[in-house]
Amino acid sequence: MAKNKKQYKIRFFEAKCNKCKNKFDMPLLSDFSSYGEFIVRNKTGSKFAYFETLTNSFWDEVSNIIDEIIRNKKNSRITIAKRQRVISKCLDKINDEQFAIDKPICPKCKSKDINYGIGHPKGVKRIPYVSFNEFDKMNKLEKVELVERILKNKLKTAPN
Provide the binding-site residues for Zn ion, judged by CB under 5 A.
17, 19-20, 22, 106, 108-109, 111
CA distances from 11 to 16, 24, 83, 123, 127 (A): 16, 13, 26, 6, 10
Instruction: Give the residue with the Cβ less far from Zn ion, 12 or 132.
Output: 12
Minimum gap (Å) between residue 130 Cβ and Zn ion = 25
- Residue whose CB is less far from Zn ion, 17 or 40: 17
Please state the closest distance from residue 143 (CB atom) to Zn ion, in A.
37
Identify the CA nearest to 86 among candidates 159, 152, 34: 152
Name the minimum Å distance from CB 100 to Zn ion.
20
Contact by Cβ (8 Å): 14, 122: yes
Question: Cβ closer to Zn ion: 46 or 111?
Answer: 111
CA pair distance 148, 105, nearest whole angstrom: 26
